[in-house]
Amino acid sequence: MRLTAGTPSRLGASWDGRGTNFALFSANAEKVELCLFDGQGRRELERVELPERTEDVWHGYLNDVSPGQLYGYRVHGPYHPEHGHRFNANKLLLDPYARRLAGRLVWSDAHFGYRAGSSREDLSFDRRDNARGMPKAVVVDETFNWGRREMRPNIAWEDTIIYEAHVRGLTQKRDDVPPGLRGTYGGLASPAMIDHLKRLGVTTIELLPIHGLIDDRALVERKLVNYWGYNTLAFFAPEARYALDNPLDAFRTTVARLHDAGIEVMLDVVYNHTAEGNHLGPTLSFRGIDNASYYWLKPDNRRFYDDFTGCGSSVNLAHPRVLQMVMDSLRYWVEVCHVDGFRFDLATTLARGPNGYDRNAAFLTAVRQDPVLATVKLVAEPWDLGMGGYQVGAFPSQWSEWNDRYRSAIRRYWSGEGSLIGEISSRMTASSDLFHHDNRATRAGINHITVHDGFTLADLFSYNEKHNEANGEDNRDGSSHNHSTNCGHEGPTDDAAIVALRRQLRKNQLACLMLAQGTPLVLAGDEVGNSQNGNNNAYCQDNEIGWVGWDNLGKEGEDLTDFIGHLTGLRRRFGQIRCQRWLDGRRADGSYGVLWLTPAAEEMKESDWKFPEGRFLSYVLGPMEQGQEPIFIVLNAAPEEIAFKLPKMTNYKSWHEVLNTTENPAATPDFAAGADMKAPPRSVLAFAGSA
């Protein structure tokens, strides 16, 4: 028989070498039809009603369907938005478990379940067929030859240095990447890029979303695209726009080559909302399959969505089948694609229950016990836009979290704000006030100065105001609170003093990032002074605004690649920076974890922390084990030179300068303990103790 019941045990389209099993969850559907298309996705060849329903999974097995077959679903059921149901069998729907997409979404009013423009969508059911403009799912063969050499690098958390990058933006303007590979998965693993990553000393590349996505209609009408990719429609399919041919194999080949180079691959994943938007959005997949199950709906009016994300809707992981989809997706990327970790966008939404964020939510509990996810890195963006959404420090011990408190404090400090040395001391020592609880380690905080969202490092010291006019939203989008400084001139300048100051401040920020305890994250392009011309929200700029500009690569003074390489080398040399144990002060036996010192090299008292407008901070991180060197760190954010003494420490007679961020650092001989020194204006210094 051609059509049999098949199995509900594996959702999606599963080819077994002889035929394909199709399974789709919908608790409220009345009938599910599988639609098979020709190789171009233009003509619907056949509709097959799935014959069985088991625990709300509709399923069937076709013994003549093989890899390459294009398909979609039509799901029958009630169209009652006021009750949360938005079924419309006139709309072809994408399989939530699609492993590959064929074609792009071509926008038209036919994609909406109601007559677009109607004031009441529940009164205007739309009967137009949208199949011609819909991407189709593709049956795939998941087998792949990883080769004998491929092994996950398994970088320890204490050694991890993350490099956040966009697949296209990283290599699109890189001349030493072959033209055919620029902007693709393959470009990430080109010899030139691997060599660059190794020079930097980073261990882990974190990719902005690569799950199958669509471009918002409003952006397309403005001739823009959803460049960053936070508009997911397919949680199992690598985005095809970054591949020359088969995106799944192209991505896995890239992972294998990066692993061969000892570099981990993390994915930024967006499970908090989908591309379907709010109640007036299109019906493309989840909304038409089972709206009431997949999304958080307003309990008092189920026509509308509970929107914790700012994107119109929120995915309901409190539902067991929706949770299953997310967990299946995560395991798929680990087991089938060998990724090494995930950064979860707006992670608070994933852990919401009826009463808000819940540290024991179903999602966090499922992750905690999962043996596959126990082997990878998990990073939360610990906030969303809902009530009680800011949860920095509140995730379980298995997780690390983006530490925006580090970003804010360190930006304010180097932009010239005083009276911050107390907070800076905490941010430079793993933010124990936020993360030192529940057996968490210092790696809990992901320190960052810049990320995709906001100013680049160069723009942070070139602009006082955002300049997002190219986005077509009258400069209303993007944050207006950037803690930036233009150093006396808005935008580019030929003033040598301003150029030098900006370069100095960039180096100071990078130095603090690598000398701080916690896990550092570097934004791609910051090493070469990449600018977005003051645009702090380049989410729609798939062009030279959003791409990394490599013009300064190799340019003396502007290319900080080797400077960062030196900093990552210091981080490897001084284990107390990477140590996963929390620091303490002076111990009974005279040893110490950290000593906070005045410019006179005396241990700081309460009054010293309250020094008016204080901008100078110095401290020693003591050896954590036998034979380890202490490191003395000096941060001078003052606009003037400040005199200080090198500390006198038991067993250490001299100090050797290992870092000086000034433009023309002096020679670096050994200095006697107790020697008088001067910290140049706006500088970071570091010294290693010598016996």
Name the pLDDT band for 501 (thresholds 50, 70, 90). very high
Over residues 379-390, the pLDDT tens digits come to 999 999 999 999
Over residues 206-241, the pLDDT tens digits come to 999 999 999 999 999 999 999 999 999 999 999 999
Q: What is the CATH number of the domain that holds 621?
A: 2.60.40.1180
Q: Is residue 597 part of a domain?
A: yes
Name the pLDDT band for 248 (thresholds 50, 70, 90). very high
pLDDT at 112 over 70: yes
Over residues 397-410, the pLDDT tens digits come to 999 999 999 999 99
Q: Would you please indicate which residues are annotated as catalytic (active-site) residues?
A: 345, 381
Q: Is residue 268 part of a domain?
A: no
pLDDT at 589 over 80: no
What's the Cα-to-Cα distance from 602 to each of 246, 389, 537, 654, rounded to whole Å? 63, 42, 45, 17
How many domains would you assign to the chain? 2
The residue from 109, 138, 167 where one domain ends is 138
Q: Is residue 339 part of a domain?
A: no
Per-position DSSP letters for 188-237, written without gaps between them: HTSHHHHHHHHHHT--EEEESP-EEE---HHHHHTT----S---EEEEEE
pLDDT at 668 over 80: no
Q: Is residue 462 part of a domain?
A: no
119 burial via Cβ count (<10 Å: 0-12, 13-18, 19+): exposed
Instruction: With residue 591 as reference, give the H or E element that holds it.
Output: none
Q: What are phi and psi of 91, to 5 degrees?
A: -100, 125
Q: Where is average pLDDT lowest: 46-55, 63-72, 384-393, 650-659? A: 650-659
Q: How far apart are CA 125 and CA 79, in angstroms?
A: 8
303 burial via Cβ count (<10 Å: 0-12, 13-18, 19+): middle
pLDDT at 349 over 60: yes
Q: Is residue 53 part of a domain?
A: yes
pLDDT at 1 over 80: no
- CB atoms closer than 10 angstroms to residue 480: 9
Of the candidates 430, 241, 269, the one whose C-alpha atom is nearest the C-alpha of residue 337 is 269
Over residues 94-111, the pLDDT tens digits come to 999 999 999 999 999 999
Q: How far apart are CA 681 and CA 452, in angstroms?
A: 30
Return the SS3 of 32. strand
Q: Is residue 665 part of a domain?
A: yes
Domain residue limits at 70: 3-138
- Do β-strands 400-402 and 352-353 pair in parallel, antiparallel, or remain unpaired? unpaired
pLDDT at 118 over 80: no
Residue found by looking up tokens 């808000």 in the block? 356
Q: Is residue 396 part of a domain?
A: no
Q: How far apart are CA 626 and CA 645, in angstroms?
A: 26
Report pTM: 0.96
- One-letter-per-residue 3-state SS of 17-31: CCCEEEEEECCCCCE
554 burial via Cβ count (<10 Å: 0-12, 13-18, 19+): exposed
Per-residue confidence (pLDDT) for residue 664, from 0 to 100:
62
Per-residue confidence (pLDDT) for residue 665, from 0 to 100:
58
Return the SS3 of 400. strand
pLDDT averaged over every residue in the chain: 96
Q: What is the CATH number of the domain that holds 94?
A: 2.60.40.10
What's the Cα-to-Cα distance from 400 to each of 57, 428, 529, rounded to whole Å? 35, 16, 28
The residue from 138, 162, 185 where one domain ends is 138
pLDDT at 640 over 70: yes
Of the candidates 200, 164, 203, the one whose C-alpha atom is nearest the C-alpha of residue 528 is 200
Q: Is residue 282 part of a domain?
A: no
Over residues 536-559, the pLDDT tens digits come to 999 999 999 999 999 999 999 899
The residue from 86, 120, 138 where one domain ends is 138
